[in-house]
Structure 1
Amino acid sequence: MTGAILVGGLIGLVLLGMPIGFALGIIGLSLLLMLGTAPLDIVPISLFDGSNSFPLLAIPLFMLVGELMDACNLSRRLVSFAGSLVGFIRGGLAQVVVITSMFFAEISGSAVAGAAALGSVLIPEMKKKGYPEGFAAALVSVAATMAIILPPSVPMILYGVMAGVSVAKLFIAGIIPGIIVAASLMIVNYCYARKYGFDVEQNFSVSNVGKTFKEAFWALMIPVIILGGILGGIFTPTEAAAIAAVAAFIIGSVIYRELKWNMLPKMLLGAANQTAVVMIIIATSALVGWFLTSERIPQGLANSVMAVTNNPILVLAILNVFFLIVGMIMHSAAAIIMLVPILMPLVHELGIDPIHFGIIVTINLGIGQQTPPVASVLLTTCSVGNVPLVKTFKYLKVFIAVMLVILAIITYIPIISTWLPSIL
């Protein structure tokens, strides 16, 4: 009964247009008042404890890195370099979208940020070259999803905090699945290119690769710093975020000389706004989490599922369907913060690797970001590319089908996610 009130009330408030963070706070406070025995001083304590976590400090820092590099005309440098690498393939501009999205994912950690930055550059260019605008928007949107699978993924940071697992291991675990997603999208692009007769973008030239690499070199150093430091055990993901922010500032202001001091207030405000949205959700969800823990709802849920089946294969199938539905109606950050603490007892009970489960959750929510009614990444892409949403559906269903196949493969072949963290 309590769970129905919680879910129903939350969905109702969100559908009425209330921000998810405020909706969580209202629901959490209402549940405490209904309980009657809980002291109200638990409210400020939960709000503070929920957001008082060292790994969460990485979120505003990675947001700032994205703002800094976007101000340095980073997108066009990465597009040029990606074009020199894959522009000779049939449908070269579509392949450039995938490769550039990979580069940008390693910097921003946000699918929405990647879709906004790259969509404004690549969608108009694809329209000029004769690509259907619906295909262009659908591709940019789905490719941007790699930002939550590849490090430094903001949803992975949230999952690591909520599940109590290593954020660094999650980052490493996302590398191979991210590469699989990129390769799969490129195969789909090639099939579309053969069908519609898309041309190559440019002939392959070693000198052009060298020239564009030189122009994009310092931009490419940001993911090298992030991944190299974490994989090498030199610093934690949070420390990597701080170092990357300093490096991005130096690159933008000293090397590229496109970052001016008078631009800093706007960038800091942009990073603060994005961070505030996430942190309010985290703080208010902690209040709901306290109630759920005190009422032992996670344990009850685990026992209920185990009473139906204790087969990990079936349970993972059920959880995949559940997260796919949740991803359609809820922001990824809210879904992780809200649901992961509830489901972790079940995950541990069945012996599912929490790192592997984290990759499953992020891919599920990445697919959800492409599907209405919420479809945050898809709507952002259509907005910046000036493409009607309905025109994307013809192509989007193919990309989503491919993502679902990848999800099934990664779900039932856990070594794809767990092998790299185990050897590093």
Structure 2
Amino acid sequence: MADIGLVERRPEGRVESLLGGALELAAAALVAVETVLLLAGIVARYVFHSSLVWSDELASVLFLWLAMLGAVVAFRRAEHMRMTALIAMAPAGLRGFLEALAVAAPILFLLLLLHPAYDYAVEESFITTPAMEIPGSWRASALPVGVLLMLLVALVRLPRAAGWGRAAAALGVVALVAAGFWWAGPVFRPLGNLNLVIFFVGLVAATVLAGVPIAFCFGLATFGYLALTTRVPTMVVVGRMDEGMSHLILLAVPLFIFLGSLIEMTGMARAMIRFLANLLGHVRGGLSYVLIGAMYLVSGISGAKAADMAAVAPVLFPEMRERGAKPGELVALLSATGAQTETVPPSLVLITIGSVTGVSIGALFTGGLLPGALLAVVLCGVVWWRHRGQSLAGAAKPGGREILRSFGFALPALALPFLIRAAVVEGVATATEVSTIGIAYAFIVGLLFYRQLDWSRLRPMLVDTAALSGAILLIIGAATAMAWALTQSGFSRQLAAVMAALPGGQAGFLAVSILAFVVLGSVLEGIPAIVLFGPLLFPIARDMGVHEVHYAMVVILSMGIGLFAPPFGVGYYAACAISRIGPDEGMRAIWGYMLALLLGTAVIAAIPWISIGFL
């Protein structure tokens, strides 16, 4: 910490600090502007019966800037998603080198991408937007500007990550590997689809395991594959990234993340949890049931797992500890509920899968409720078994009046998940717009009813929202480019043929999908796995007669199990960080929950009605 303070007192450190502050302010302002803009569109349409024809277009322009500036902020704060399980087990010297490599590899990708991103923005200048009649370069310029800013941030961060010596070594290794691939370019072209294994299996696996942020792993593999084995212009990589990041439906990602922070800050989550605790806290394992129910309810509001866990754990865990719960059991159950609620609308994974596969968001929102509830019952079964001999000496049963009072206090908060779902299903607002309704509702309820609106926390919440959104959206952009390259190679046709030939028909296809997405969820994290393989596998599922909403539930739950299962699942480590409990403590306790979730997922796969019965 002293070294960082010394660096920040130097002129270059002060400049970097000022630049970082300006970037955070701009990214936070964009989140706020997008919220107000979409809410204004809803008010104009339903109150004044007039449409703001330019609002969606302006929202789209600002959204790409939000995504890129958020990605820069995330890079500056070292918050891009990466797999660190192997780094944590490495010796100290190697760990420092790998930390430097995690910055040096993105520098290579950003250098390679800078000129194509500039060319792409120039090309877009010849396109005029229909409503506002402005050049497309106003939006597309976010790409080269964001790439350049990330490059500058990376160059400043690199020596801080592990010192000048390791920074130079990491840059040297990256340069040597890049030169080796370039020199071997003529060798790659005759190899055909073997190049898919070299770039999209070998290179991606090596960089992911080395701890390089996942978005840059995808980007490097895609850029290298197209540049060295095809005649496709590298500007296509930028175009595919733009396409993946610019779906307006994905604007729901930052808005629901912000909503998740709001429900914690306004006290809405605490009110819901207090009611559930009064209702169930006096039975054996009662607070564990409350944790399961609270995660289900909060997930129905925020859509962001980190926000869900951060809202629930600090409220429940102190009381659970007082009643004798072991730390490992607490973090294990929190992780399991994170996986269980991945299908509860408005889950960001549901929104993402709808965006990249074309499946109806409203249908996904309806189809996700019952699978999440079924897995909640399965987890409750494990809780009952583990707590069947628990002493109830310290658990007082509240009276009926106290339960009713807590219910009345929680009612405004409990109404929000139903408001969100009704607005989407009934067509009042899109999945993107409904998040702004939730934000407005949370502000009003927090200000007038709960009176816990802390204005000083709004700016940090907006910055955190922009950073997390930028990290997610950059992965989606890079994975979209990678999926396009795989499709153009003919891999999707070969994959379809292999999957169609699996023994067991639909059952065999679903079983392989479950196993594949458990593995992919643990290695690539949730959203990258969905974005990369969703466009490839969903058409195969349709051809085999599997309903797309049913398949989405199976895929999402399988991915969630991998995401929250140790030793690789990053969701498990997020739960540990939020709980302030060491990862080792929950390792034994979590496997019973994960086995129960896997069995529950198999039941959901075997009975399509659970997912599509209410469509």
TM-score, normalising length: structure 1: 0.94
Check whether the contact 2:195–2:229 (CA below 8 A) recurs between aligned residues: no
How many residue pairs get aligned? The number is 421
Matched, 1:145 2:339: yes
1:51 aligns with 2:240: no
Matches within 5 A, 1:60-75: 60-75=254-269
Give me the whole-angstrom Cα distance separating, in 1, the residues matched to 2:394 and 2:195: 58
Q: 2:602 aligns with which of 401, 408, 413?
A: 408
The answer for the alignment partner of 1:2 in structure 2 is 195
Cα distance, 1:200 vs structure 2: 7.6
**What corresponds to 2:481 in structure 1?**
287
Is the 2:275–2:406 contact (alpha carbons within 8 Å) kept by the matching residues of 1?
yes
Spell out the pairing of 1:58-97 with structure 2 (5 A cutoff): 58-97=252-291
Q: Does 1:221 align with 2:399?
A: no
Greater shift, 296-305 or 109-118, is seen at 109-118
Counterpart amino acid of 1:19?
P
Task: Name which of structure 1's ranges 359-368 and 66-75 shifts more when overlaid on structure 2.
Answer: 66-75
Distance 1:146 1:408 in 2: 13
Give RMSD over aligned pairs.
1.8
Contact 1:108 1:147 in 2 (8 A): no
| 1:396-418 Cα shifts (integer Å, max 9, x gaps) | 11111110110110001111101
1:354 Cα offset (Å)? 1.0
- Partner of 2:565, secondary structure, is coil
The whole-number CA distance in structure 1 between the counterparts of 2:329 and 2:388 is 14
1:23 equivalent to 2:207? Answer: no
Match of 2:514 among 288, 296, 320: 320
Contact 2:256 2:302 in 1 (8 A): yes
The counterpart of 1:135, out of the listed 309, 316, 329, is 329
1:204 and 1:253 map into 2 onto residues whose CA distance is: 29
Instruction: Output the CA distance in 2 between the equivalents of 1:198 and 1:336.
Output: 44
- Once the two structures are TM-superposed, the CA of residue 30 in structure 1 deviates from its matched residue by 0.9
Secondary structure of 1:409's partner?
helix
Give how far 1:302 is off. 0.6
2:338/2:564 contact within 8 Å kept: no
Deviations 1:50-88 (A, max 9, x none): 112121111111111011112123332222111122223
Q: Is the 8 A contact 1:89 1:200 kept in 2?
A: no
Deviation by residue 1:308-332 (Cα, 9 ceiling, x = unmatched): 4471111111111111111221210
Q: 1:193 aligns with which of 368, 384, 387?
A: 387
CA distance in 1, matches of 2:503, 2:432: 39
CA distance in 2 between partners of 1:147 and 1:390 (Å): 24
Q: Describe the shift of the 1:20–1:208 C-alpha distance in structure 2 as closer, same or farther (beyond 3 A).
A: same
> How far 1:232 moved relative to its partner?
2.6
Question: 1:172, 1:420 within 8 Å by CA — same for their partners in 2?
Answer: yes
Distance 2:404 2:201 in 1: 54
Counterparts of 1:297-312 in structure 2, within 5 Å, are 297-309=491-503, 311-312=505-506
Quote how far apart the aligned CAs of 1:288 are: 1.1
- Any residues of structure 2 matched to 1:205-244 within 5 Å, and which? 205-244=399-438
**Structure 2 SS opposite 1:420:** coil
Q: Per chain length, whose mean CA-contact separation is higher, i.e. which structure has more relative contact order (CA < 8 Å, sep 6+)?
A: 1
Among 355, 375, 378, the alignment partner of 2:572 is 378
CA deviations over 1:260-306 (Å, ceiling 9, x no partner) = 33322111111111111110011111211221222121111111232
Give the structure-2-normalised TM-score: 0.66
Partner-residue secondary structure (3-state), 2:387: helix
Distance of aligned partners of 1:310 and 1:243 in 2 relative to their CA distance in 1, 3 Å threshold? same
The amino acid of 1:354's aligned partner reads E
Which letter does structure 2 place at the counterpart of 1:30?
G
1:271 alignment partner in structure 2: 465
Query: Could you tell me how far apart the structure 1 residues matched to 2:341 and 2:258 are?
Result: 15
Deviations 1:205-236 (A, max 9, x none): 33122211222222223212101212333222
Instruction: From 364, 367, 378, give the equivalent of 2:561.
Output: 367
What SS does the corresponding residue of 2:613 show, helix, strand or coil?
helix
What's the counterpart of residue 311 of structure 2? 117
Indicate if the aligned counterparts of 2:282 and 2:392 stay in contact, CA closer than 8 A. no
Deviations 1:149-206 (A, max 9, x none): 1111111111111111101111110111111111222222122111344568442533
Shift of 1:353: 0.9
Q: SS at 2:306's partner residue?
A: helix
1:246 is matched with 440
* CA–CA distance in structure 2, aligned partners of residues 389 and 260 of structure 1: 32
> 1:310, 1:350 within 8 Å by CA — same for their partners in 2?
no
Structure 2 distance, partners of 1:320, 1:384, is: 28
AA at the equivalent of 1:29: F
Distance 1:199 1:133, change over 3 A: farther
Counterpart contact for 2:370–2:611, Cα < 8 Å: yes
User: Judging changes above 3 Å, is the alpha-carbon distance between structure 1 residues 350 and 200 closer, same or farther for their aligned structure 2 residues?
Assistant: farther
3-state SS of 2:385 partner: helix
Amino acid at match of 2:352: L
CA distance in 2, matches of 1:210, 1:308: 55
1:156–1:171 CA contact under 8 A, matched in 2: yes
Q: 1 CA distance for matches of 2:417 and 2:301?
A: 6
Give, in whole Å, the separation in 2 of the partners of 1:308 and 1:385.
Answer: 42
More displaced, 230-239 or 124-133?
230-239
3-state SS of paired residue (1:17):
coil
> Is there any run of 5+ residues in structure 2 with no aligned partner, and where?
1-193
Q: Tell me which residue corresponds to 1:354.
A: 548
Whether the 8 Å CA contact 2:284–2:387 is kept in 1: the answer is yes
Letter in 2 for 1:7: V
Shift of 1:256: 2.3
Q: Distance in 2 between matches of 1:230 and 1:199?
A: 46
Q: Partner of 1:141: helix, strand, or coil?
A: helix
| Cα pair 2:257 2:307 within 8 Å, conserved | no
Q: Is the 8 A contact 1:87 1:200 kept in 2?
A: no
Amino acid in the other structure paired with 1:360: V
Which of structures 1 and 2 has the bigger CA Rg?
A: 2
Identify if the C-alpha distance between structure 1 residues 248 and 347 changes in structure 2 by more than 3 Å, giving closer, same or farther: same
- Counterpart mapping for 1:168-187 below 5 A: 168-187=362-381
The residue type equivalent to 2:541 in the other structure is: V
The runs of 5 or more residues in structure 1 that have no matched partner are: none
